[in-house]
């Protein structure tokens, strides 16, 4: 008697094919490839971006927004340029740059309360801003 019968009939499922090595390489070839990649100064690519508002995560609520398209350029040392666009029509929603120490963000689309240009430092911890761009006041403090 088999224990498999206890759980009902089995169903076949599709399993993604396992990845195999794309190429064989010896130690000197691997070192040469690492050196080639280390010499790269920049890369450019397309990204899919999913924004999520977790402002009310403590209450178990999170809001996901529609996915956006983007392009990103990374350049050594620490430079980033990101463009977020409306899918299909490629209209810029926002742009962000960073030199590794400071960032700049331009929000280009939305109501006037959302359109803004923000600058800051990468090493700071920032408080959440209200929609008017000011830090929320703590209503729980006395006095």
- Please give the average per-residue pLDDT across 112-136, as a whole number: 76
Is residue 30 one of the residues assigned to a domain? no
| pLDDT tens digit sequence for 35-49 | 998 998 999 999 998
Instruction: Report the C-alpha gap between 139 and 143 in whole angstroms.
Output: 10
Domain limits at 121? 41-143
Asked, for residue 106, whether it belongs to a domain, the answer is yes
7 within domain boundaries: no
| Structural domains of the chain, count | 1
Examine residue 22 and state whether it is found in any structural domain, yes or no.
no
Measure the CA–CA gap between 70 and 45, rounded to whole angstroms.
Answer: 8
Inter-residue contact 67 to 49 (CB < 8 Å):
yes
pLDDT for the residue numbered 74: 94
Least confident of 2-11, 80-89, 103-112: 2-11
Judge whether residue 141 has pLDDT over 50: no
Let me know if residue 136 belongs to a domain. Answer: yes
Mean pLDDT check: name the lowest of 45-49, 97-101, 126-130.
Answer: 126-130
pTM tops 0.75 = no
Question: How far is it, in rounded angstroms, from Cα 15 to Cα 67?
Answer: 27
Mean pLDDT, the chain, whole residue set: 81
């Amino acid at each position: 008697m088999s224990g498999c019968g206890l759980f009902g009939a089995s169903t076949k499922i599709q399993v993604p094919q396992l990845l195999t090595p794309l190429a064989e390489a010896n130690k000197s070839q691997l070192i040469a490839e690492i050196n080639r990649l280390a010499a790269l100064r920049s890369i450019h690519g397309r990204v899919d971006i999913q924004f999520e508002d977790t402002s009310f995560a403590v209450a178990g609520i999170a809001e996901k927004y529609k996915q956006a398209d983007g392009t990103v350029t990374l350049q050594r040392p620490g430079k980033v340029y990101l463009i977020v666009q409306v899918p299909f029509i490629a209209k810029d929603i926002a742009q962000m740059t960073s030199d590794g120490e400071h960032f700049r963000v331009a929000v280009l689309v939305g109501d006037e309360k959302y359109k803004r240009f923000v600058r800051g430092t990468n090493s700071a911890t920032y408080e959440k801003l209200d929609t008017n761009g000011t830090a929320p006041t703590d209503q729980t403090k006395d006095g």
